Structure 1
Amino acid sequence: MQDDISGWSDWNHNFDGIEEISSPSELHGILTGIVCVTTAPTRDEWLQILSTLTVPKVSDEALALLEEEANDVSHALSEDELDYLPMLPDDEHVLSERVQALADWCAGVVLGFGLASGHIRADEQELIESLQDVAAVEFDESDDDEEGEESYQELYEFVRLIPVSLSTGRAKISVADSSLLKHFQSKEKQVKDTSDEPSLVEMYTPDRPS
């Protein structure tokens, strides 16, 4: 299966079933959104990022996988070959599962980008809105046909290149200089935020059906 070649099998094995995220694909989207803005997080930084997301402690193998994938994605986004690929189940999975995974991935990219305080440049607002639109997609059984498959492939090819556009020409900052760890640091200092302003998570998370 292509799942083994793409890395999906290992990714799904390590991150499936985490209640705090919708799916392993959403986590890969979060990772992608982060490295559009920052340098690839280290193992220790991933521990803090996961704490920010209230994700329980993961295994050493999972942390190593996050660090390795972040480096790979960061490299792919910096290249001109446009060979970046989202971490999604292959076409041997039913269409409904792949559509949901793509929606989760899009939501993750938006969330990761927002958590890292990715400043939206003038020409990027439409790209973010496109990701939010796909994140809200609901699969209908009537779409489970050849036309639905073609529509999925077109949508996939469109959104997979959005992180490349978000990353291109952006001066990457360190994770420490981003807003990624602010929540973690505030918890460490036990500082309570009493602001009525919406959080970055609320601002950047699309309105998705339950």
Structure 2
Amino acid sequence: MQDDITGWSQWNQKFSEIAELSSPSELHGLLTGIVCVTEAPTQEQWSLILSTLNVPTLDHDALQLLTEEAEDTAHALSEDDLDYIPMLPDDKNTLQDRVFGLADWCAGVVLGFGLASGHIRADERELIGHLQDVAAVEFEDSDDDEDGEESYQELYEFVRLIPTSLAVGRKRQPVLDSSLLKNIHERITEVDSDTDANIVNVFSPNRPS
């Protein structure tokens, strides 16, 4: 797995300073979990989604990268051709960093899927449980050996296919129809309605009969 193939270097550079998330890998997991359920969010929708997680506003380039990656990920998951690749530290990084990156990614998928779907179906619980197990994985110095490398590769190959399984058979919802931004959308609609009413009142004064 090379940085220039996965885009990890650029992804890490753009998103490594987000203190509200454990790592850029968690952000990619969040993105993945969301597009298992919804259409790929627009830049404006990403700004709203991240605001619900108290993530500071991202610059235009970061939002564009996030939006493009969501579109690519949604396409990869819909193809069901097993080509989906999580955005994780590659082999140039230590085994510990890769293990924790994988754990963060799993946590992100669980969070994104839960936020977007609003509930977990019975047939999805086992898959989500596997992700939660890996998200809680621990790493000790004694794990940093050849057996540890093999265990990591097995875990990686196992969990990277879970989003495909979660996405199969689902008809993706528009973002605003999902639970992801439903409350925000309803509040915006209420504000817009109040604003329209005020405008009508201003330009339609009561006239004596």
CA separation of 1:185/1:174 partners in 2, compared to 1, >3 Å: closer, same or farther?
Answer: closer
Amino acid at match of 2:61: E
Is there any run of 5+ residues in structure 1 with no aligned partner, and where? 191-210
1:178–1:36: structure 2 CA closer, same or farther, 3 Å change rule?
Answer: same
Distance 1:158 1:123 in 2: 17
State the distance in 2 between where 1:45 and 1:173 align.
Answer: 14
Distance 1:118 1:162, change over 3 A: farther
Structure 2 matches for 1:18-33, cutoff 5 A?
A: 18-33=18-33
Aligned match of 1:65: 65
What is the match of residue 133 of structure 2? 133
Q: Deviations over 1:181-205 (max 9, x none)?
A: 1454577679xxxxxxxxxxxxxxx
Task: Describe the superposition over 1:73-119 as per-residue Cα deviations: whole angstroms up to 9, x where unpaired.
Answer: 00000113110000001111100000000000000000000110254
The 1-side partners of 2:187 and 2:17 are apart by: 25
Partner of 1:104: 104
Cα distance between partner residues in 2 of 1:90 and 1:187: 42
User: What amino acid does structure 2 have at the position aligned with 1:99?
Assistant: V
* Alignment match, 1:9: 9
Which secondary structure state, in structure 2, belongs to the residue aligned with residue 124 of structure 1? Answer: helix
Larger Rg: 2
Q: Are the structure 2 counterparts of residues 20 and 183 from structure 1 closer, same or farther at C-alpha, using a change threshold of 3 Å?
A: farther
Residue range with higher mean Cα deviation, 59-68 or 120-129: 120-129
Distance between the aligned counterparts of 1:54 and 1:154, measured in 2? Answer: 34
CA contact (8 A) 1:49 1:184 kept: no
Indicate the larger mover: 160-169 or 123-132.
123-132
* CA distance 1:166–1:118, shift in 2 (3 Å): farther
Offset of 1:162 from its aligned partner?
Answer: 0.2
Distance 2:107 2:5 in 1: 24
Q: CA RMSD in A?
A: 1.7
User: Aligned-pair distance for 1:180?
Assistant: 1.1
Count, aligned residues: 190
Give the equivalent residue in structure 2 for 1:93. Answer: 93
User: Percent identity over the alignment?
Assistant: 70
Q: Is the 8 A contact 1:52 1:183 kept in 2?
A: no
How far the C-alpha of 1:123 sits from its partner, in A, is 2.1
TM-score (norm 1): 0.86
Task: Specify the code of the residue in structure 1 equivalent to 2:175.
Answer: V
